[in-house]
């Protein structure tokens, strides 16, 4: 004989609404805390970018590609892009090389000296813009202290601070501190015992760096290089303070089209900005592809 079903089993259990509300609030808290950042990100990042993108297609109140065609057909604009890319790539490569040597040396010195150098690097990374240009004018300008001293001994030659090589020197100067700060944590991945093990196997210092150090540090080096290129491509204050806008760089051209006294063409400046963003995006995509290749190569070697 089957046992009778109790009335308690027939009564539906109440839904734990409080528990559901509590879980929903726990999930909503990160979104609520993220809202101020999302608003600021939209107002200062997405909205200006969308404005630039839309206005880059407006030419004489007509929607079209005339601004881009004008930029591509202008030899003056192509020269500005070429000068900016030349300065950015070479200053990033030289600054990254010097920073890598500096960080490698810092790992072998005492703690106090290393902390002092890192603190000085952190401080010098903020020394840019007009003060940096003024310092270079005093030191390496036409009548600078170091310029007159080197010319007295015939060591300087035809160096011109206000030309291509002078700008390259300034770019390299403000690239080195940033590269040091970005590379310093990456060098912690190196084990001091690796060099000893490599030497026991017959590898010299050059082989150790080429076959062990560089493959391990390649993602950090490539990522830092891209950041340095972007940093150099967007540099404006130092160049403008040094050359008064007389050197043809892409940031100088954008500023002259937006705030110039004679010609105001914000739509053309927007088109140049979009092309600049596309160049940086292309470089970033190539960088991510190379990094993914390096990571897959490391996994395959394990």
Compute the average pLDDT of residues 253-274.
Answer: 83
The answer to whether residue 137 is domain-embedded is no
The answer to whether residue 186 is domain-embedded is yes
> pLDDT value at position 10?
46
Q: Is the pLDDT of residue 197 over 60?
A: yes
Residue 10, judged by CB atoms within 10 A of its CB (0-12, 13-18, 19+), counts as exposed
Domain that holds residue 190: 62-130+164-296
The end-to-end CA distance of the chain, in Å, is 68
The answer to whether residue 97 is domain-embedded is yes
Q: Is the pLDDT of residue 261 over 80?
A: no
User: Do 140 and 147 touch, CB atoms closer than 8 A?
Assistant: yes
Other C-beta atoms within 10 Å of 159: how many? Answer: 14
d(CA 84, CA 298): 34
The answer to whether residue 11 is domain-embedded is no
**CATH code of the domain in which 80 resides:** 1.10.3720.10
pLDDT band at 104 (very low <50, low <70, confident <90, very high): confident
> pLDDT value at position 302?
53
Q: Is the pLDDT of residue 297 over 60?
A: no
> pLDDT value at position 295?
57
Query: Which residue from 167, 192, 174 is spatially nearest to 99, judged by alpha carbons?
Result: 174
> pLDDT value at position 164?
85
Q: Is the pLDDT of residue 4 over 90?
A: no
Q: Is the pLDDT of residue 86 over 90?
A: yes
> pLDDT value at position 5?
47
Query: Which residue from 281, 239, 283, 253 is spatially nearest to 78, judged by alpha carbons?
Result: 253
d(CA 78, CA 75): 5
User: Do 238 and 129 touch, CB atoms closer than 8 A?
Assistant: yes
> pLDDT value at position 220?
83
Judging by DSSP bridges, how do beta strands 62-63 and 58-59 pair with one another? antiparallel
* Tokens of residue 255, six digits: 């500023």
Phi, psi of 245 (to 5 degrees): 80, 10
Which of 12-21, 232-241, 253-262 tops mean pLDDT?
232-241
> pLDDT value at position 260?
63
d(CA 287, CA 41): 25
Q: Which residues contact 150 (CB under 8 A, 6 or more apart)?
A: 156
The answer to whether residue 180 is domain-embedded is yes
What is the tally of structural domains in the chain? Answer: 1
Other C-beta atoms within 10 Å of 209: how many? Answer: 16
The answer to whether residue 243 is domain-embedded is yes
Q: Is the pLDDT of residue 22 over 50?
A: yes
Tens-place pLDDT, residues 26-75: 777 787 888 888 899 888 888 888 998 998 898 887 888 888 998 889 89
User: Do 228 and 175 touch, CB atoms closer than 8 A?
Assistant: yes
d(CA 127, CA 119): 13
> pLDDT value at position 200?
83
More confident position, 200 or 272: 272
Other C-beta atoms within 10 Å of 266: how many? Answer: 17
> pLDDT value at position 185?
83
The answer to whether residue 57 is domain-embedded is no
pTM, rounded to two decimals = 0.78
Bridge partners for 63 per DSSP: 58
Compute the average pLDDT of residues 204-221.
Answer: 82
Q: What are the start-end ranges of the H helices in the chain?
A: 7-10, 17-41, 47-55, 66-73, 75-106, 111-124, 130-140, 145-152, 164-183, 192-200, 205-208, 214-233, 237-243, 250-259, 266-301
The answer to whether residue 21 is domain-embedded is no
Nearest-Å Rg of the Cα atoms of the chain is 28
Compute the average pLDDT of residues 233-239.
Answer: 86
Mean pLDDT, rounded, of the chain? 81
């Amino acid at each position: 004989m089957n046992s009778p079903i109790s009335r308690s089993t027939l009564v539906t259990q109440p839904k734990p609404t409080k528990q559901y509300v509590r879980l929903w609030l726990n999930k909503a808290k990160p979104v609520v805390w993220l809202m101020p950042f999302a608003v600021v990100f939209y107002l200062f990042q997405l909205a200006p970018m969308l404005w630039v993108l839309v206005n880059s297609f407006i030419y004489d109140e007509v929607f079209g590609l005339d601004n881009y065609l004008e930029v591509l057909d202008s030899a003056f604009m192509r020269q500005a892009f070429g000068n900016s890319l030349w300065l950015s790539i070479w200053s990033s490569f030289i600054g990254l090389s010097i920073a890598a040597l500096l960080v490698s040396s810092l790992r072998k010195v005492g703690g106090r000296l290393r902390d002092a150098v890192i603190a000085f690097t952190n401080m010098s990374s903020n020394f840019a813009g007009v003060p940096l240009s003024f310092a270079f004018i005093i030191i390496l300008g036409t009548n600078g202290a170091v310029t007159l001293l080197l010319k007295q001994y015939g060591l300087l030659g035809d160096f011109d601070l206000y030309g291509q090589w002078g700008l390259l020197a300034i770019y390299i100067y403000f690239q080195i501190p940033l590269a040091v700060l970005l590379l310093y944590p990456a060098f912690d991945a190196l084990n001091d015992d690796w060099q000893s093990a490599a030497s026991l196997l017959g590898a010299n210092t050059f082989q150790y760096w080429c076959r062990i150090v560089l493959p391990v540090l390649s993602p950090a080096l490539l990522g830092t290089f891209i950041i340095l290129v972007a940093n150099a491509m967007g540099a404006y204050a130092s160049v403008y303070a040094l050359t008064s806008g007389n050197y043809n760089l892409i940031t100088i051209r954008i500023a002259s089209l937006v705030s110039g006294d004679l010609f105001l063409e914000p739509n053309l400046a927007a088109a140049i900005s979009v092309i600049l963003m596309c160049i940086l995006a292309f470089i970033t995509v190539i960088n991510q592809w190379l990094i993914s290749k390096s990571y897959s190569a490391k996994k395959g070697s394990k």
